[in-house]
Amino acid sequence: MSLFEIRAKDGMARLGIYTTKHGKVHTPLLMPVIHPAKSSITPAQLREEFGFQMVITNSYIIKSKDKFREKALSEGVHGLINFDGPIMTDSGTFQMYFHNLPEEEIDPLEIVDFQKSIGSDIGTILDAFSEPNVGRQQVEHDVKKSLERAKISVGRKEDMLLAGTIQGGIFPDLREHSAKMMATMDFDVHPIGGVVPLMESYRYSDIVRITLASKRHLPFNRPVHLFGCGHPMLLAQAAFLGCDFFDSALYAKFAESDRYVTPTGTLHLGNLRELPCECVVCNSFTADDMNQMKRDERVLHLMRHNLYVTIGEMKRVRQAIVDGKLFELVAARARSHPNLFNALQTMLHYVEQIEKEYPVANSTSILYTGIENARHPVAYRFHSRVKNRYPYSHTRQMLLFPDIGGRPFYETAPLPIQEVRKTEAEEMLILFVTPMGVIPWELEHVYPAQQCIYPEYLDTESIISVGQKLQEVLDLISAEKIIWLSRNDPMNKVHELINTQSAIVHTQTVSEVIEELDIQATTEKHWMLRKLRAIMAHQWNLRVNFDVIKKWEISISKGTGKMRHVKNEDDILFTIVPTTGTLAPTYAGGLVLQDIGISDDYLVTIDDEVSEYIIKGKSALAKFVRFASPNLRPGEEVLIADSAKRLLGTGRALLSGPEMLAMNRGVAVTTRHSKD
């Protein structure tokens, strides 16, 4: 049974809770590496002073030294290192690689049994380490050996949690193969091994590729551990990619060579005039003080500083997940080193994979951080849905309105919006051309249309990206006439990048636009229904006939002018979520969606035995979910039904469809409205 529960998501990152024999831990988390013989800072101090929840130590070192082995066998590993929280033990794979030990040095079954006998919360199999620069044939051999050892080891774990390490060197296809096979075995955690040499040589893009290749096939209910990754500058990106556990000995190793860790890199203490940090150590001493200390004292204080910085960054990552701001933190850290920036760009080549796990809607804004915003997963999703779901594909005239998006569109384009409200879609469309992409007027309030904040000075790559997106949309919409309003706006350059069979009329003022549009009507038409139809298509891929929704009544907020509710007679069918512009169906609205023919992509089916709890308004727990579409994204507004597809309630999905089916703990859907 899964011991992992997901509480919040951002990107592929999971804010979760993992349960062990010695308590629960909150992920993502970092485990300091503990050497039994070197304890300048004790494990107890790591927990009490710094707040580390779990530590990792090496079972091979313990087993190979009589004094450690005997105490561990009699008092357990927790007694050996005096730590009452969860402890993970490594098997010695890296020591075999680092010290070039013979293969027979460690027996794969004996080391698993030993970890079990000393009471490890999480043990690790003995896998075969592949150096980054060895040939493919050797890596294939190591993967095969690791899988063979995994098969014989997993049955020995009993009540100990066991980690099955993914190997495959720098070859993504071998990582995928390793992950696929490991996923079929009864492991509890999956480390991604072979990372330390890549870290040491700044091969961050390789780490991104092998992490994503592994994640593609690993079960969602098992935490992923990026072995040997613990530098603060990489934690945000690794968490964004879905890594839950990290470990590192750098706090001690770096201190021993007078290296001073920061969230953006590593400095040498001897080069510092000031200590650029607010931790207890740096507020107690100056750089001169530290440099003049005796070596042992200096190393101890550097270790403490390095630990404070590392745990501080881990907390920053967890809070960024809660706030929906992890992408911005990743982008900021990417400026720490050119190779880390390259890794960010590499990551965005896999935007389609990332988007599947990215929450659909968020209440926070998306801040421009650089050229990476052109391929932000949320912007990618919005554009994909505009291309594939926008219901209006034919019009007599189309206005292209370039806008940086600094203010609501009804403030920057009041007169064109006033005109479009007098028309049907077949007569006029407005497309706002923004740095995020192309935003049809009907979707102006749908997340993230107006939650993206960009500067006036925009990079060329972003402008080119918008041009490509606009071209793709124009290729799908037939228009007799296209009008471009030239404005003093960075987006005005986009018109040079498009090519269309329709003649483009360039206008300089809004007055010229109004004249070109030639709108004959003087009163508003059913523009709210037009918007509603577009939102339902964008949100649920529903092509709703106007005849169906003409009988509905839409209320408007007097303060904002936005839609608030959709009613049918006295029943509220939908409430518009003010921060996202999306529709939240009531129970009556859920019945309407079923009648219209909403896809099973937005249906979550649960065990009949818990139907009564949903009817009473309780949330749908993941362990009772029996069907959820592989296409369901976290954050979607969904219907909750029993096995006969009878509607029980409606709510917001907290997990993706595959996650719901994989998890045995935690909430899958937060119920908003129920049958009662």
Task: Quote the CA–CA distance of 676 and 674 in Å, as a whole number.
Answer: 5
* Integer CA distances (angstroms), 497 to 399, 434, 492, 500, in order: 16, 14, 10, 10
Name the CA dihedral angle for 388, 240, 651, 387, rounded to a multiple of 10 degrees. Answer: -10
Whether 482 has a pLDDT exceeding 90, the answer reads: yes
Task: Quote the CA–CA distance of 106 and 118 in Å, as a whole number.
Answer: 17
What are the two backbone dihedrals, phi and then psi, of residue 32, each rounded to the nearest 5 degrees? -65, 140
Per-residue pLDDT tens for 382-399? 999 999 999 999 999 999
Whether 103 has a pLDDT exceeding 90, the answer reads: no
| Single-letter amino acid, residue 336 | S
For the chain, percent of residues with pLDDT exceeding 90: 88
Choose among 209, 245, 238: nearest CA to 224.
Answer: 245
Determine the pLDDT at residue 141: 96
Per-residue pLDDT tens for 642-674? 999 999 999 999 999 999 999 999 999 999 999
Determine the pLDDT at residue 224: 98
Average pLDDT for residues 238-254, to the nearest whole number? 96
User: CB-based contacts of 413: which residues, under 8 Å, 6+ apart?
Assistant: 401, 403, 430, 432, 510
Q: Are 235 and 314 in contact (CB under 8 A)?
A: yes
Whether 170 has a pLDDT exceeding 80, the answer reads: yes
Write the Ramachandran bin of 170: left for phi over 0, alpha for psi from -120 to 50, otherwise beta.
Answer: alpha
Average pLDDT for residues 229-238, to the nearest whole number? 96
Per-residue pLDDT tens for 490-501? 999 998 888 877
Whether 62 has a pLDDT exceeding 60, the answer reads: yes
CA angle 492, 481, 468 (to 5 degrees): 45
- Catalytic machinery residues: 90
Task: Quote the CA–CA distance of 617 and 100 in Å, as a whole number.
Answer: 60
User: CB-based contacts of 253: which residues, under 8 Å, 6+ apart?
Assistant: none
In three state form, how does the secondary structure of 37-59 look?
CECCCCHHHHHHCCCCCCEEEEH
- What DSSP string runs through 161-193? EEE--B--TT-HHHHHHHHHHHHTS--SBEEE-
CB atoms within 10 A of CB 260: 25
**Beta-bridge partner residues of 670:** 652
For 85, which DSSP code? S
For the chain, percent of residues with pLDDT exceeding 70: 100
Q: Are 401 and 441 in contact (CB under 8 A)?
A: no
- The domains of the chain, with CATH numbers, are 4-250+337-349 (3.20.20.105), 366-517 (3.40.50.10630), 546-674 (2.30.130.10)
Task: Quote the CA–CA distance of 637 and 360 in Å, as a whole number.
Answer: 9
Q: Are 480 and 396 in contact (CB under 8 A)?
A: yes
Q: Return the structure tokens found at 45.
A: 């101090």
Average pLDDT for residues 331-351, to the nearest whole number? 97
Q: Return the structure tokens found at 574.
A: 């939908």
**Beta-bridge partner residues of 675:** none
* Integer CA distances (angstroms), 383 to 376, 393, 470, 577, in order: 11, 15, 9, 21
Q: Are 150 and 185 in contact (CB under 8 A)?
A: yes
Determine the pLDDT at residue 255: 97
Q: Are 605 and 658 in contact (CB under 8 A)?
A: no
In three state form, how does the secondary structure of 345-401 look?
HHHHCCHHHHHCCCCCCCCCCEECCCHHHHHCHHHHHHHHHHHHHCCCCEEEEEEEE
Determine the pLDDT at residue 499: 84
Determine the pLDDT at residue 521: 85
Q: Are 399 and 407 in contact (CB under 8 A)?
A: no
Determine the pLDDT at residue 559: 75
Average pLDDT for residues 323-335, to the nearest whole number? 97
Long-range Cβ contact pairs of 667-670 (< 8 A, separation 24 or more): 667/619, 667/620, 667/621, 667/622, 668/604, 668/619, 668/620, 668/621, 668/622, 668/625, 668/628, 669/604, 669/619, 669/620, 669/638, 669/640, 670/619
Q: Return the structure tokens found at 563.
A: 């839609």
Per-residue pLDDT tens for 5-18? 999 999 999 999 99
Q: Is the dihedral of CA 169, 175, 177, 181 positive or negative?
A: positive
Task: Quote the CA–CA distance of 140 and 175 in Å, as a whole number.
Answer: 10
What are the two backbone dihedrals, phi and then psi, of residue 372, each rounded to the nearest 5 degrees? -65, -20
Instruction: Name the residue with tokens 């740095």.
Output: 435
Task: Quote the CA–CA distance of 345 and 463 in Å, as a whole number.
Answer: 17
Banded pLDDT at 368 (limits 50, 70, 90): very high
Average pLDDT for residues 123-127, to the nearest whole number? 96
Q: Is the dihedral of CA 362, 635, 542, 672 positive or negative?
A: negative
Whether 2 has a pLDDT exceeding 70, the answer reads: no
Name the CA dihedral angle for 528, 393, 485, 404, rounded to a multiple of 10 degrees. Answer: 70
Distance of alpha carbon 62 from the chain centroid: 37
Query: What average pLDDT does the structure give for the chain?
Result: 94
Distance of alpha carbon 131 from the chain centroid: 29
Determine the pLDDT at residue 86: 98
For 273, which DSSP code? S
Q: Establish how many alpha carbons lie within 13 A of residue 136's alpha carbon, considering only the half-sphere containing its beta carbon.
A: 5
Average pLDDT for residues 468-496, to the nearest whole number? 94
Whether 557 has a pLDDT exceeding 90, the answer reads: no
Task: Quote the CA–CA distance of 299 and 623 in Å, as a whole number.
Answer: 49
Q: Are 126 and 150 in contact (CB under 8 A)?
A: no
Banded pLDDT at 1 (limits 50, 70, 90): low
Whether 96 has a pLDDT exceeding 90, the answer reads: no
Q: Establish how many alpha carbons lie within 13 A of residue 268's alpha carbon, considering only the half-sphere containing its beta carbon.
A: 3
- What DSSP string runs through 566-595? EEETTEEEEEE-TTT--EEE-HHHHHHHHH
Long-range Cβ contact pairs of 147-151 (< 8 A, separation 24 or more): 147/178, 147/181, 147/182, 149/108, 149/125, 150/125, 150/181, 150/182, 150/185, 150/187, 151/185
Per-residue pLDDT tens for 290-327? 999 999 999 999 999 999 999 999 999 999 999 999 99
Task: Quote the CA–CA distance of 498 and 162 in Å, as a whole number.
Answer: 56
Total number of residues shown for the chain: 676
Q: Return the structure tokens found at 383.
A: 């554009």
Exposure letters 581-598 (e unless 16+ CB within 10 A, then b): bbbbbbbbbbbbbeeeeb
What are the two backbone dihedrals, phi and then psi, of residue 406, each rounded to the nearest 5 degrees? -75, -25
Query: Which secondary structure element, helix H or strand E, spans residue 504, and what is its range?
Result: strand 504-507
